[in-house]
Amino acid sequence: MRYQTLIFDFDGTIADTLEETRRIFNRIAPEYGIREVYEHELAKLRHLSLSELLKHLSIPNRRVPSLLARGTGMLRGNITQLPLINGMGEVLNELRSHTRTFGILTSNASANVDLFLKAHGLRGLFDFISSTSKLTGKAKHLTAIRKTFSLHASEMLYVGDEIRDVKAAQKAGIPIAAVTWGFNSRESLSSEEPDHLFSQPADFLRLLDAE
């Protein structure tokens, strides 16, 4: 396969955490003076970039780190009970046999990811779990991962479900596969021109055709 190092986002890409995240957000929103997010809004919100989403929900940038830390901490209590994206387990096992390095880069807490992967029998597939406390800090981390493993950008592939994932990979000069089953919509992801756009986990197997 062309890509010898696959790096995955976690929330919405591997783990189906959207509804639990919304529930936690709504629980703590009153403490921050922020309104709740209702289920019927999600279809509209899926078209928004991160900055547009924060503006729509009237969340000041200065409150984001605290919200993120609080939310990921609360998520830990139920993380092992959350579902894997349907079909991802089989696809991850297949892809792993064709690659040299497997990793995760997420805005979630590394401990959460570790617990989730162990609960689903997938922890052994991954060489590393990297976490960034900044929602917009993934480009720097992708560059650091490339240097740490002495990789060429062209042999790496980042996989994510959000516009910010696509932009981070492009900023780092690393190919990006956007998946449409997570937070952002297919239309919004496509407009960012990712290298690959997948509608279901089985679409990853197309990458094996490049072997």
| CB distance 78 to 187 below 8 Å | no
The Cα–Cα gap between 167 and 192 comes to 8
Q: Tell whether 123 and 170 lie within a shared domain.
A: yes
One domain, residues 101 and 155: yes
pLDDT of residue 172: 96
Q: How many CB atoms lie within 10 A of CB 18?
A: 17
Are 128 and 185 members of one domain?
A: yes
Q: Are residues 75 and 86 in the same domain?
A: no
- Residue 149 makes CB contacts below 8 A (sequence gap 6+) with 5, 101
Predicted pLDDT of residue 137: 81
Q: Specify whether 74 is located in the same domain as 123.
A: no
pTM of the model: 0.94
User: Do 139 and 190 share a domain, yes or no?
Assistant: yes
CATH number at residue 9: 3.40.50.1000
Q: In terms of residue numbers, what domain contains 197? A: 5-16+82-210
163-172 helix and 138-148 helix, angle to the nearest 10 degrees: 50
* C-alpha to C-alpha distances, 70 to 24, 56, 65, 67, nearest whole angstrom: 9, 21, 9, 5
Instruction: Quickly count: other Cβ atoms within 10 Å of residue 69's Cβ.
Output: 12
Buried b (16+ CB within 10 A) or exposed e, 195-210: ebbbeebebbeebeee
* Residue 98 sits in the same domain as residue 181: yes
Low-confidence spans in the chain with pLDDT less than 50: none
Regarding whether 87 and 160 lie in a shared domain, the answer is: yes
HSE-up (13 A, CA, CB side) for residue 204: 29
Instruction: Please count the structural domains in the chain.
Output: 2
Whether 129 and 201 share a structural domain? yes
The answer to whether residues 96 and 156 belong to one domain is yes
Q: What is the pLDDT of residue 209?
A: 77
Clarify whether residues 144 and 173 are in a common domain. Answer: yes
Rounded Cα distance, 33 and 35, in Å:
7
Does one domain contain both 132 and 65? no
- Examine the residue annotation and report whether 9 is marked as an active-site residue of this protein: yes
Domain termination site, one of 43, 59, 80: 80
Residue 210, pLDDT score:
59
